[in-house]
Amino acid sequence: MTTFMSRNDLFLFLGFTVVVLAMPIWLAPFGAGYPDLLQRFMIFGIFAVGFNILFGLTGYLSFGHAAFFGVGSYAAVWSFKLLTLDAIPAMIFAVVISGLFALVIGFLCLRRSGIYFSILTLAFAQMSYNLAYSVLTPITNGETGLQLTLADSRVLDAAMGQTFSGQPVPTLLGQQLGGYAGFYFCAGFLILAFFIAQRIAGSPFGMMLKAIKSNQTRMQFTGFNTRPYALSAFVISGMYAGLAGALLAVTDPLAGAERMQWTASGEVVLMTILGGVGTLVGPVIGAWIIKYFENILSALNDNILARFWSFLPEGAADFMVTITSKFVGDGWHLTLGLAFVIVVIFLPGGIMEGVRRIAAAFRRSGSSSAKPSARTQPAE
Amino acid sequence: MTILKRGLSRRRVLQTGMAGIIGSGVAPLVFTKGAWAQEFCNNPTGDTVVFGLNLPLTGTYAEEGADEQKAYELAIAHLNGEGDGGLLNVLQPSALKGNGILGKKVTYVSSDSQTKSDVARAGATRMIERDGAIMITGGSSSGEAIAVQGLCQEMGVIFMAGLTHSNDTTGKDKRRYGFRHFFNAYQSGIGLAPVLGQSYGNDRQAYHLTADYTWGWTQEESIKAATEALGWKTTAAVRTPLGATDYSQYLTPILNSGADVLILNHYGLDMVNSLTQAVQFGMRDRQANGKDFQIVTPLISELMAKGAGESVKGIFGTSNWHWNLQDPGSIAFTKSFGAAYGSPPSQAAHTAYVQALLYADAVERAGTFYPPEVIKALEGHEFDGMGNGKTLYRAEDHQCIKSVLVVQGNESPTSEFDVLNVVQEIDRDTVAYDPAIFGGDLGPAEPVPMCA
């Protein structure tokens, strides 16, 4: 076992697994222990982990990852419509399609690096969004969104003689995937995705990616052809995004073009930076925090605020409601922006850096005989 | 978490990471509750019942969403016996008592749907799963309505659609758990075509600009069919993305297309922009084929007419309802809405308010919140007094059959709200149609799907 995984990695993985699987329990007091949000935690966690392979490990900042996410969703919904309501073929189909899509886009975009690469990916993603939104409406159903209907052909299901009444919903071997079943299904994939990312980061291939990040030119001078490595990272990360998109379609079988918009691409960048670029857990934590605040803050309205501030005297309560209402509901992005600015200024390494600092402070105060500084970590 | 041994650096990372989440999660959890009982989704067990309002507070239809929110707040106040009672006094027949629903006080949660189907669906899921909403209502776009309606069928929660005008909502995409009070594009076509024929003649070349989603598609189809039946020809139908702001690239080709009527299948901010820009282009001063060039807006509301200002004068369209109608229902609603918010209600506000009341009334009549019973109470229900004359909630497709208004932009408005004139009230027998023409399948009401 120790040759397979280092002790630290194993503990990290086990700890992560326990935390994820126990989420319905420990998130319940926070008002987040309901299936839809938990599913989103898992799905965007996968998205962020995949994004981090490209951004955190390889150092390429893609501003167009939502395109792969959307492609995964559309592919999965089409699989539900044409083949079968079972989730497994849909996910395989989605991951393959988004991988191929990433291969094409990556091949073109990776000719440049730095800001030019970011702009190229942004351009491709925006093109994909517009295609989905208004050009390819026969495939994507545009703004209305692609949905399952009773009239879909579902060739495989029909061949097996299955019929449905009511609203068709995705299943796993006949088991419906709504609610907590959907959550554990997604959680399984997040744990798997995390494990693979961990293995990639610790492998010679991962070392190669880290080398590309620290100095690509030097790599080339020493005789390495870096393109295939960067492209592989790009495709893997695109497949992660496709997997996340497919899971979103499994838990909620509607694919809309909005999930491909540049704001969605920007969101995953925020998640990764907020959590901690280049760390394994950081992006997942970033994704959870953003989704959590999105769900909690955007649901607040003036009435709820008025109830919350009602302990204050009349005038002061109204004043507080007026002020705070700007930061909740449709204005929750203002809160996100503020939090983001604060994190980037004071903790450039994201929440994980905060965690490290706190840990270091504890160690110093805990035992005076401790070594003065923690081991420095390369490429982080 | 406790299985980790002390002294591992990763462990601290992980543990304190969690602490980080918890530390930053100082959010307002006090607000949330989650209590669901057994028999059906969100069976209200306490002394309150929660409505889930799914409203576009940002995006192209934001203004409609804001007006709907006011209407729902008013409806909920009236249902709880606060305020002047509004339409509770005029609904015929009515089982409402003004003490909440089945004695339970009505409260609400809301979610901003951003005029996007995806977001609307996520918001509705949250309100059902987390906030325990017994019914979802609202929306100002057919894309949203159809997406949320499918979700509600999946979850077994009744959806009372807000403003949605696409034929598909109660046509090809109809659902057993979805109900629509608003009229649809097909009825707009039936109502509007004769008026257009009278005013503009039977020999016209029409050019459509269409919002590129389900509502635009079906309205284009319906208006095309209705005007072609008059003898008009359709020169071209061009799709524009929802939420476009600059229409000049779409307007320029019209000048040389040979068309003499421009039909704008737009709504909300889209319509305000496209109509204003078309008028600025000088379209209405033009002559084409020896006739005055005309613009038609098949679906128009007072909010949009207000937004378009001068440009809307003399332009024909249809509406579901208008605040200036003189029946007791309309007068009562305009009065209580005006008293609460200082402006007359829009058609979006009206349909939202009426839907909330109709749901409450159906629950009272059914004597239970159990959705299949409520559905039965709504299906085939005939009522009067809500401002649209006698109205039938048709059982076959859950579409309300009632009269439709043909309106025209007011040439000499007396106030900023007096922007539309009712030209004609088309009675409901004329705009009724065979529900079978759009196909679709409502699906079953039972067994009740069980959410979460």
CB atoms B28 and A304 under 8 Å: yes
Identify the residue with better confidence: A321 or B211.
B211
Q: Which residues contact B107 (CB under 8 A, 6 or more apart)?
A: B48, B49, B50, B51, B76
B103 touches A: beta carbon within 8 Å: no
Q: Are residues B163 and B96 in the same domain?
A: yes
What pLDDT score does A107 carry? 94
When scoring A36, A43, A131 by the number of chain B Cβ atoms within 10 A, the one with the most, hence best to mutate, is A36
Nearest by CB to residue B212, choosing from A142, A147, A330, is: A142
What pLDDT score does B130 carry? 86
Tell whether the model's pLDDT for residue B197 goes beyond 80: yes
Q: Residue B26 domain-assigned?
A: no
Q: Are residues B74 and B179 in the same domain?
A: yes
Q: Residue B449 domain-assigned?
A: no
Tell whether the model's pLDDT for residue B66 goes beyond 80: yes
Q: Are residues B54 and B162 in the same domain?
A: yes
Q: Residue B19 domain-assigned?
A: no
What pLDDT score does A324 carry? 83
What pLDDT score does B422 carry? 92
What pLDDT score does B31 carry? 35
**Domain residue limits, chain A:** 16-278
A35 touches B: beta carbon within 8 Å: yes
Please give the structure tokens belonging to residue B327: 């029946």
Nearest by CB to residue A330, choosing from B8, B57, B118, is: B57
Neighbouring CB atoms inside 10 A of B48's CB total 15
When scoring B9, B217, B238 by the number of chain A Cβ atoms within 10 A, the one with the most, hence best to mutate, is B9
Q: Residue B13 domain-assigned?
A: no
Q: Which residues contact B222 (CB under 8 A, 6 or more apart)?
A: B167, B184, B185, B186, B188, B189
pLDDT in tens, B153-172: 888 999 999 999 999 999 98
Is the backbone peptide bond immediately before A138 cis, with ω within 30 degrees of 0?
no
Identify the residue with better confidence: B123 or B452.
B123
Q: How many angstroms separate the CA atoms of B9 and B15, rounded? A: 10
Q: How many angstroms separate the CA atoms of A347 and B256, rounded? A: 60
Q: Are residues B370 and B272 in the same domain?
A: no
pLDDT band at B48 (very low <50, low <70, confident <90, very high): very high
Tell whether the model's pLDDT for residue B333 goes beyond 90: yes
Total domains in chain B come to: 2
CB atoms A330 and B58 under 8 Å: yes
Q: Are residues B52 and B177 in the same domain?
A: yes
Exposed (0-12), middle (13-18) or buried (19+): which is A366, by Cβ within 10 Å?
A: exposed
Give the minimum alpha-carbon distance from A352 to chain B in angstroms, rounded to a whole number.
Answer: 7
Domain that holds residue B149: 48-183+323-402
pLDDT band at B38 (very low <50, low <70, confident <90, very high): very low
What pLDDT score does B286 carry? 87
Per CB-CB distance under 8 Å, the chain B contacts of A7 are 8
Nearest by CB to residue A15, choosing from B11, B24, B147, is: B11
Question: Given B292, B319, B346, which residue is the final one in a domain?
Answer: B319
Please give the structure tokens belonging to residue A33: 């222990």
A16: left (phi over 0), alpha (psi -120 to 50) or beta: alpha
Please give the structure tokens belonging to residue A178: 């709504």
Q: Are residues B211 and B152 in the same domain?
A: no
Q: Are residues B305 and B328 in the same domain?
A: no
**CA closest to A73 among chain B residues:** B118
What pLDDT score does B7 carry? 45
Percent of chain A with pLDDT over 70: 93
Tell whether the model's pLDDT for residue B414 goes beyond 50: yes
A304 touches B: beta carbon within 8 Å: yes
Exposed (0-12), middle (13-18) or buried (19+): which is B314, by Cβ within 10 Å?
A: middle
Percent of chain B with pLDDT over 90: 59
Tell whether the model's pLDDT for residue B33 goes beyond 60: no
Per CB-CB distance under 8 Å, the chain A contacts of B112 are 298, 329-330
CB atoms A145 and B118 under 8 Å: yes
CB atoms B239 and A134 under 8 Å: yes
Tell whether the model's pLDDT for residue A363 goes beyond 90: no
Per CB-CB distance under 8 Å, the chain A contacts of B173 are 147, 149
Q: Are residues B125 and B241 in the same domain?
A: no
Q: Are residues B218 and B294 in the same domain?
A: yes
Question: Given B286, B304, B319, which residue is the final one in a domain?
Answer: B319
Q: How many angstroms separate the CA atoms of B116 and B5, rounded? A: 48
CB atoms A15 and B109 under 8 Å: no
CB atoms B122 and A36 under 8 Å: yes
B70 touches A: beta carbon within 8 Å: no
State the average pLDDT over residues A316-333: 81
Q: Are residues B336 and B218 in the same domain?
A: no
B265 touches A: beta carbon within 8 Å: no
State the average pLDDT over residues B1-17: 49
Neighbouring CB atoms inside 10 A of B141's CB total 33
What pLDDT score does A27 carry? 87
Tell whether the model's pLDDT for residue B12 goes beyond 80: no
Percent of chain B with pLDDT over 70: 91
When scoring A38, A136, A143 by the number of chain B Cβ atoms within 10 A, the one with the most, hence best to mutate, is A143
B74 touches A: beta carbon within 8 Å: no
pLDDT in tens, A141-200: 887 888 887 778 888 888 887 766 667 788 888 778 778 888 999 999 999 999 999 999
What pLDDT score does A165 carry? 63
Residue with tokens 């609400």: B108
Give the minimum alpha-carbon distance from A258 to chain B in angstroms, rounded to a whole number.
Answer: 7
Tell whether the model's pLDDT for residue B436 goes beyond 70: yes
Rounded to 5°, the CA angle A246-A330-B360 comes to 85
pLDDT band at B231 (very low <50, low <70, confident <90, very high): very high
Question: Given B319, B347, B364, which residue is the final one in a domain?
Answer: B319
> What separation, in Å, do the N-terminal and C-terminal C-alpha atoms of chain A show?
26
Smallest CA-to-CA distance from B329 within B358, B300, B304, B360 is with B358
pLDDT in tens, B415-431: 888 889 999 999 999 99
Among A114-123, A151-160, B109-118, the least confident range: A151-160
Q: Residue B262 domain-assigned?
A: yes
pLDDT band at A1 (very low <50, low <70, confident <90, very high): very low
For residue B442, what are the CA distances in angstroms to B171, B438, B450? 9, 12, 18
> What separation, in Å, do the N-terminal and C-terminal C-alpha atoms of chain B show?
27
Q: How many angstroms separate the CA atoms of B181 and B163, rounded? A: 8
CB atoms A258 and B118 under 8 Å: yes
A320 touches B: beta carbon within 8 Å: no
A324 touches B: beta carbon within 8 Å: no
Residue B145: which CATH number?
A: 3.40.50.2300
Q: Are residues B291 and B190 in the same domain?
A: yes
Q: Residue B376 domain-assigned?
A: yes
**CA closest to A179 among chain B residues:** B452
CB atoms B13 and A178 under 8 Å: no
Tell whether the model's pLDDT for residue B372 goes beyond 70: yes
CB atoms A18 and B21 under 8 Å: no
What pLDDT score does A380 carry? 44
Per CB-CB distance under 8 Å, the chain B contacts of A16 are 14
Q: Are residues B137 and B208 in the same domain?
A: no
